Amino acid sequence: MTTTERPQRTPEEIRHRHAENLGHQVAAGVFNPKQLLTSLPDALRKFHPRYQLRNPVMFVVWAGSLLVTAFAIAEPSGFTIAVAVWLWFTVLFANLAEAVAEGRGKAQAESLRKTKKDSVARRLTDTGEERVPGTELRIGDLVVVEAGEVIPGDGDVVEGIATVDESAITGESAPVIRESGGDRSSVTGGTTVLSDRIVVKITTKPGESFVDRMIALVEGAERQKTPNEIALTILLSTLTIIFMLAVLALQPFAIYSGGEQSVIVLTALLVCLIPTTIGALLSAIGIAGMDRLVQRNVLAKSGRAVEAAGDIDTLLLDKTGTITWGNRRATEFIPVDGTAMETLVDAVRLSSLADGTPEGRSVVELCAERYGRSAEPTDHEKTGEFVPFTAQTRMSGIDLGGRSIRKGAASGFTVSDETQRIVDEISAEGGTPLVVAENDRVLGVIRLSDVVKPGMKERFAELRAMGIRTVMVTGDNPLTAKAIAAEAGVDDFLAEAKPEDKMALIRTEQEGGKLVAMTGDGTNDAPALAQADVGVAMNTGTSAAKEAGNMVDLDSDPTKLIEIVEIGKQLLITRGALTTFSIANDLAKYFAILPAMFAAIYPQLGLLNIMGLATPQSAILSAVIFNALIIVVLIPLALRGVRYKPSSAAALLRRNLLIYGLGGVVTPFAGIWLIDLLVRLIPGIG
């Protein structure tokens, strides 16, 4: 994986950077009560039956509201009208929860729409150039973009190199480099070229660009229920059917006992017993999970990916640019076998003049800074034959006046015991050794050092507390990989890794029943990204990588994967906590309504009226009002998410049961009692 060209940041800066993101700032931050008012029109539109049918629990409440309203019109009374009004409020508040969550996404989408610009493309033809609207471009078209022009569509740079302003998409003001070949060739339509000239090969159809897809996703137009949501919906529907049958079965017993119940009371009982709280908030929780990712500049292609992130067992992380800063630099020259330092420095400099890699440039810079050598070749040196570094030879050097100087990995040379010892020591300390030789005689070793990012060990400890195994993937030799892994605190490492090795590791983990997440940015990462359960592609990467992954990080920050896992965990915990709270609620409402229904027939049930509710009617109405209001109270929590602290599954279960289970029992007792104090003041009910 290549290192992102953006300025390096500390993990703390990375975690808080999204708060400064101009593109999505409108949706970030704490829940604002004004959102309830602005989302009200959308909530009212959701009263249509086609919306209600999507949620079986709330559809039952909607149908019950219609039924009670019909009775309120036919035989109006204060109690019947009050119950009908609050049942409709229950449906309204459920609609409002979803509308607020969707409204935040629409605000983000509107921000993204402002970045879209109608541009004229300079399309290349067999005879030259032609100017066409950007909407007429097709996959495979080649377009020229120069400084000051807007890139007309998504594609890959096939010729040239340029700096590009992507602030409209990412909110990042620093320009980025895009160049042909390699893993930084992808460009996004709507961004602006700041310098130079590039030729872009279009890879998407009009209307299917990256920005178009982002808009559709954050608006929820393509949102589908995840497997966990479907399973929970089935559970809630089953509970609703069971409670419906139980309520229907009560009437024959009530008639037999001489205490026939009205349809209004039975409907109120049904609505209060079915899990309306989680039924109303379920969709909002899922939408809010994707919203939290967008706030962090991550585009999730589906809710399934967010959920999967919360269930991850194994995390694959590239060493370079993720665990370490990725900018390995020459820090020391070590002569061997009696070689003079001056001789070694001279050879080291010559061997690196043609090495355009960051490591090669750092060698020349160290020669200049520490030993006063020129960073540019002399006229005499220019007459030599430079040997540039390639991934195949893994060497660089120069042939000059009968001298053949080479620099590369120790495996490419025949080395002495002293040289091998130094190479092993550097590797064991986490550095990278490069051997320098002249005419096959080894002169010395260059130490390249990479630095582990601060705070990584603590973050990996947090992941371990979550039960997640971390694996560092690197192309380094095993000794270097082991030293870096120990310093960073990862659980395991894969050294000298090739693309097929990543695939094999992912498959091995998945065959063991584990879910795997990884990051990637190159075309060679695409198969592994597609194979992983959560594949996070870097925005700087190729189109193939972005298509293969199920998430795209607009900041191209590989450490973001750790945050994504935390957001996924938070989503699952929020859903579980509110489900626990909702079901626990029913216990208190049971104690409020059932004694009120049958106290006249069975006076002994008065002992269960532990809240001291005034009358059967006030008890029923109070329970219905509480059932509606608790939805509004919990909307901010559903959108913000339950606070997540890394801990074991058993500890999380205990915490949920204690806070949301016990809280779900106690809160309705207090709430219904307080509401009853007000309801009993209403004439004809109290």
CA 174/CA 178 separation, integer angstroms: 13
Confidence (pLDDT) at 430: 72
Of 451, 478, 502, the residue that ends a domain is 451
Half-sphere exposure of 519 (CA within 13 A, CB side): 35
Indicate whether 146 belongs to any domain. Answer: yes
Domain identity same for 55 and 69: yes
pLDDT tens track for 189-241: 878 888 888 999 998 877 777 677 766 666 654 456 777 888 888 999 999 99
Instruction: State the greatest distance between any 2 C-alpha atoms of the chain, in Å, as a whole number.
Output: 115
Task: Report residues of the chain scoring pLDDT below 50.
Answer: 1-30, 221-222
Radius of gyration of the chain (CA): 33
**Domain assignment of residue 405, given as a range:** 328-451
- Confirm whether residue 560 is marked as ligand binding: no
Give, rounded to a whole angstrom, the gap between the first and last alpha carbons of the chain.
71
CA 383/CA 288 separation, integer angstroms: 64
| Residues near 537 by beta carbon (within 8 Å), at least 6 away in sequence | 519, 520, 521, 525, 529, 545, 546, 548, 549, 551, 552, 553
pLDDT tens track for 246-286: 888 888 887 887 778 889 989 998 998 899 999 999 888 88
- Confirm whether residue 507 is marked as ligand binding: no
CA 202/CA 247 separation, integer angstroms: 61
Of 354, 355, 361, which Cα lies nearest the Cα of 329?
Answer: 361
Of 221, 280, 224, 253, which Cα lies nearest the Cα of 62?
Answer: 280
- Confirm whether residue 359 is marked as ligand binding: yes
CA 172/CA 166 separation, integer angstroms: 7
**What does DSSP say about strands 551-553 and 534-538: parallel, antiparallel, or unpaired?**
parallel
In the residue annotation, 318 being an active-site residue is answered as: yes
β-bridge partners, 400: 403
Tokens, residue 477: 């030799």
Domain identity same for 234 and 278: yes
Domain identity same for 544 and 592: no
Indicate whether 5 belongs to any domain. Answer: no
CA 617/CA 624 separation, integer angstroms: 11
Confidence (pLDDT) at 114: 62
Q: How far, in Å, are 49, 325, 579, 626, 629 from residue 635 at the CA level?
A: 23, 40, 14, 14, 10
Collapsed DSSP state (helix, strand, coil) of residue 246: helix
Assign 3-class secondary structure to 511-573. HCCCCEEEEECCHHHHHHHHHCCEEEEECCCCHHHHHHCCEEECCCCCCHHHHHHHHHHHHHH
Half-sphere exposure of 560 (CA within 13 A, CB side): 30
Q: Which of 156, 212, 318, 476 is catalytic?
A: 318
- Confirm whether residue 69 is marked as ligand binding: no
Give the angle subtended at the CA of 258 by the CAs of 599 and 607, to the nearest 5°: 15
CA 365/CA 220 separation, integer angstroms: 52
- Confirm whether residue 531 is marked as ligand binding: no
β-bridge partners, 386: 398
Domain identity same for 332 and 406: yes
- Confirm whether residue 395 is marked as ligand binding: yes
Indicate whether 213 belongs to any domain. Answer: no
- Confirm whether residue 313 is marked as ligand binding: no
CATH number for the domain including 358?
A: 3.40.1110.10
Phi and psi at residue 461, to the nearest 5°:
-65, -35
β-bridge partners, 473: 318, 494
Confidence (pLDDT) at 223: 53
CA 145/CA 181 separation, integer angstroms: 17
Domain identity same for 99 and 242: yes
Indicate whether 488 belongs to any domain. Answer: yes
Q: How far, in Å, are 232, 351, 412, 665 from residue 587 at the CA level?
A: 20, 78, 74, 6
Domain identity same for 465 and 432: no
Tokens, residue 102: 């969707």
CA 428/CA 639 separation, integer angstroms: 48
Confidence (pLDDT) at 686: 59
Indicate whether 283 belongs to any domain. Answer: yes
Domain identity same for 275 and 167: no
Domain count, the chain: 4
Across 494-508, b (16+ Cβ under 10 Å) vs e yields: bbebeeeebbebbee
Say which DSSP state 603 is in. Answer: G
Domain identity same for 335 and 440: yes
CATH number for the domain including 544?
A: 3.40.50.1000
Q: How far, in Å, are 8, 184, 409, 435, 436 from residue 385 at the CA level?
A: 36, 30, 21, 20, 17
Domain identity same for 343 and 427: yes
Confidence (pLDDT) at 324: 77
Domain identity same for 574 and 643: yes
Domain identity same for 649 and 605: yes
Domain identity same for 446 and 458: no
Of 554, 582, 600, the residue that ends a domain is 554
CATH number for the domain including 196?
A: 2.70.150.10
Of 524, 464, 510, 469, which Cα lies nearest the Cα of 493?
Answer: 469
Indicate whether 303 belongs to any domain. Answer: no
- Confirm whether residue 521 is marked as ligand binding: yes
Confidence (pLDDT) at 183: 62
Indicate whether 133 belongs to any domain. Answer: no
Of 158, 176, 205, the residue that ends a domain is 205
Mind giving me the DSSP string for 370-438? HH---SS--HHHHTSEEE---TTT-EEEEEETTEEEEEE-GGGS---HHHHHHHHHHHHTT-EEEEEEE
- Confirm whether residue 52 is marked as ligand binding: no
Confidence (pLDDT) at 631: 93
Confidence (pLDDT) at 420: 93
CA 569/CA 557 separation, integer angstroms: 20
Residue 31 near residue 635 (C-beta atoms within 8 A): yes
Indicate whether 605 belongs to any domain. Answer: yes
Q: What's the sign of the alpha-carbon dihedral 598, 601, 606, 612? A: positive
Q: Which residue is it, tokens 């560092």?
A: 472
